Chain A
Amino acid sequence: MTPELLTDITIFVLSLLVGFEVISKVPATLHTPLMSAANSIHGIVLVGAMLIAVTADNALGYILAFVAAAFAAMNVVGGYLVTGRMLKMFRRARTPVTGGDPPAGVTGGPGAAGGHRPGGQA
Chain B
Amino acid sequence: MACQELVELVTEYLEGRLSPVDRERFDAHIAGCDACTAYLEQMRMTLDALGRIPEESIPVEAREELLIAFREWRA
Q: Do A and B come from one complex?
A: no
B interface, CB within 8 angstroms of A: none
Residues of chain A having any CB pair with chain B under 8 Å: none
